[in-house]
């Protein structure tokens, strides 16, 4: 049966792109997000306008009418992030996810496939426990992962939590169903979090050769737009900036604060000159001389494996694969600051696509 997906908390559509990586014939038939700038990008790239209706106000009848067999979820991370208050189910921003967990019990035909993305620490949350308890009860086969893009050959270290859940269909062989039921029912108590994007029965992935950062760079002059302002550097005494060179093979996680004055922990900065100079990352005077600049939104999008160049960039340069059905670009209405913020709230398309292809849709004829 063809994949008909619903994308909840859709943002820039990273889960949509990941689904297309796994199955180019799959369709997202509806999406929801409250951010107007994210929705403008989504419509610009997919021709589909996400609803701004709060997910906590959806009902089973509304969901049923889409006749969807796949749910894609990237709920807000703030209730779970280690740098926040970790309010979990007591945080109002968790209401959308918890409401969808309840709707799973109410829809006429629960989706066969479910994919969830969130931050590390979600795996210890009560929200996750409630989700998996429901999936157990509805007889889903569940797998959970903590994976970084570095593991699939992308030069960005953005480890995230992922869950895949697949429900057995009535027409599948009874003995297979019984074996799956026996494995799924006690899942919550025996859960293990895998750290490679492989099916549990597969051997470990071969190490990927991570390309240097120069492969992701634009030809950008260091000017007032992208250069890190001097006062950003000098006012932070002894702060160790994460500075990378074009021949580096790792960038740190880009957050929604990237590009603003909140530089602490917001992402890597690119050194553009004085490459032979030795310096300490907390030596402010030396740092002022290395031409430190922000990564452009296009570069960050490439590091998140969005197909921003209209080619199969998310496939890691695999020329044998066809281009993705939808390329990625920003509409002219989105400002530079908004681009960085939206990307900071997004995810890595290649990790998502790999997990959907190799785990969620494994051995499935779509």
- Do residues 162 and 147 make contact, with C-beta atoms less than 8 angstroms apart? yes
3-state secondary structure of 131: helix
Q: Which residue has the tokens 């990008």?
A: 41
Q: What torsion do the CA atoms of 180, 181, 187, 188 make, to the nearest 10 degrees?
A: 150
147 strand-pairing partners: 160
- Would you give the DSSP letter of residue 84? S
Among candidate residues 246, 263, 245, 247, the one with its CA nearest the CA of residue 255? 263
Q: Count Cα atoms within 13 angstroms, Cβ side, for 245.
A: 11
Length, in residues, of the chain: 366
Q: Which long-range contacts (CB under 8 A, 24 or more apart) does 85-88 make?
A: 86/121, 88/125, 88/126, 88/127
Edge-to-edge strand list for the sheet holding 269-270: 243-244, 269-270, 293-294
Pairing of strands 193-194, 269-270: unpaired
Largest Cα span, the chain: 70
Structure tokens that stand for 188 in this block: 């919550």
- Would you give the DSSP letter of residue 51? B
What residues are annotated to the active site?
77
Pairing of strands 193-194, 243-244: unpaired
- Would you give the DSSP letter of residue 214? G
DSSP for 296-361, written as a single string: PHHHHHHHTT--TTSS-GGGTT-TTSPPPSS-----TTS-HHHHHHHHHT---HHHHHHHIIIIIT
């Amino acid at each position: 049966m063809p994949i008909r997906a619903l994308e909840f908390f859709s943002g820039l559509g990273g889960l949509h792109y990941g689904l297309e990586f796994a199955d180019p014939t799959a369709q997202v038939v509806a999406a929801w997000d409250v951010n107007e700038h994210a929705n403008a990008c989504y419509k610009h790239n997919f021709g589909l306008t996400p609803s701004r209706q709060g997910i906590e106000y959806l009902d089973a009848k509304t969901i049923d009418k889409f006749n969807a067999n796949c749910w894609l979820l990237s709920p807000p991370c703030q209730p779970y992030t280690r740098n926040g208050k970790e309010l979990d189910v007591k945080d109002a921003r968790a209401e959308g996810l918890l409401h969808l967990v309840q709707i799973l019990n109410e829809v006429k035909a629960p989706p066969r496939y479910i994919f969830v993305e969130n931050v590390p620490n979600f795996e210890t949350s009560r929200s996750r426990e409630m989700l998996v308890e429901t999936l157990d009860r509805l007889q889903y086969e569940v797998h959970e992962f903590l994976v970084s893009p570095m593991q699939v050959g992308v030069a960005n270290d953005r480890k995230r939590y992922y869950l895949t859940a697949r429900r057995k269909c009535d027409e599948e062989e009874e003995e297979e169903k019984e074996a799956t039921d026996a494995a799924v029912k006690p899942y919550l108590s025996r859960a293990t979090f895998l750290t490679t994007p492989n099916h549990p029965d597969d051997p470990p992935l071969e190490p990927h050769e991570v390309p240097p950062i120069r492969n992701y760079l634009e030809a950008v002059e260091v000017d007032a737009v992208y250069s890190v302002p001097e006062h950003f550097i000098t006012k932070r005494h002894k702060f160790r900036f994460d500075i990378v060179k074009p021949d580096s093979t790792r960038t740190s996680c880009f957050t929604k604060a990237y590009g603003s004055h909140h530089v602490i922990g917001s992402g890597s900065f690119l050194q553009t000159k004085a490459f032979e100079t030795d310096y300490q990352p907390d030596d402010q005077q030396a740092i002022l001389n290395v031409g430190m600049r922000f990564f452009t939104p296009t570069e960050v999008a490439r590091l998140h494996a969005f197909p921003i160049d209209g080619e199969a960039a998310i496939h890691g340069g695999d020329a044998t694969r066809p281009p993705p059905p939808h390329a990625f670009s920003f509409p002219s209405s989105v400002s530079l600051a908004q681009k960085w913020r939206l990307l900071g709230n997004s995810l890595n398309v290649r990790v998502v696509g790999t997990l959907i292809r190799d785990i969620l849709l494994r051995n499935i004829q779509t």
